[in-house]
Amino acid sequence: MKLISSPASPYVRKVRVLIHEAGLGDEVTELPVKTTPMDTAADVAAANPLGKIPALIRDEGPAIYDSRVICRYLDAHAQAGLYPESRLWEVLTLEATADGILDSAIGIVYEKRFRPENMQSEDWMEAQWAKIERSLDALGKMWMSHLSGPLDMGQVAVGCALGYLDFRHDARQWRKGRGALDDWFAAFAQRPSMKATAPTD
């Protein structure tokens, strides 16, 4: 299998962490690409008509895409148990929350990077950050016991989302007033899979 990837993408990082945790390193080869929303790389467009990464090229079928789809596929392939049936809906909700954080965080980056300065909307960017703030507060208030439990994909997704906030939005200081979440992430970030997949430009 081949993973179309980028070292800066937090969605790709979710898949890469799962590959590490599931012991699939010998079965998945990474194909790093340079692609942007304004200039989609040909390899990306061929694998995913939406022009987004990650995409997973399989030997036995068409490429699959969207990090949640790829993670479910690889988890089932490896029987890694990162989507346990006993708490599946909680895991999926946590993963959706983390991906929502990423959607807003990346939206802010794209607004600054790809729109002319005179067309950028500060109000829109602040509205995106407000979504992130609400999600972080919800994690701290409702999900700490789950985050502190046995490893699952919800935890991986949250860890990758918080790592991206550090990577691209450190000045926003997401940790302020969120000591429990900060402590959890400090410990989770020490996992070998997280260290091995730290984002780079």
pLDDT in tens, 129-139: 999 999 999 99
Q: Residue 190 CB: number of other CB atoms within 10 A?
A: 9
pLDDT in tens, 178-197: 999 999 999 999 999 999 99
Q: Is the pTM of this model over 0.85?
A: yes
Instruction: Give the amino acid at 51.
Output: G
Please state, in angstroms and rounded to a whole number, the distance separating the CA atoms of residues 162 and 165: 5
pLDDT in tens, 92-122: 999 999 999 999 999 999 999 999 999 999 9
Least trusted range by pLDDT, from 34-38, 80-84, 135-139, 175-179? 34-38
Is residue 144's pLDDT more than 90?
yes
Task: State the burial class of residue 154 (Cβ atoms within 10 Å of its Cβ: 0-12, 13-18, 19+).
Answer: buried
- Name the pLDDT band for 201 (thresholds 50, 70, 90): confident
Strand partners, 29: 2
Q: Mean pLDDT throughout 170-181?
A: 97
pLDDT for 22 equals: 98
The domain locations on the chain are: 2-78, 85-193
Q: Mean pLDDT throughout 27-43?
A: 95
- Name the pLDDT band for 141 (thresholds 50, 70, 90): very high
Q: Mean pLDDT throughout 67-76?
A: 98
Q: Mean pLDDT throughout 147-152?
A: 97
Name the CATH architecture for the domain at 2-78.
3-Layer(aba) Sandwich (3.40)
Fold of 85-193: Glutathione S-transferase Yfyf (Class Pi); Chain A, domain 2 (1.20.1050)
Q: Mean pLDDT throughout 13-23?
A: 98
Rg of the chain over all Cα atoms, to the nearest angstrom: 17
Is residue 149's pLDDT more than 90?
yes
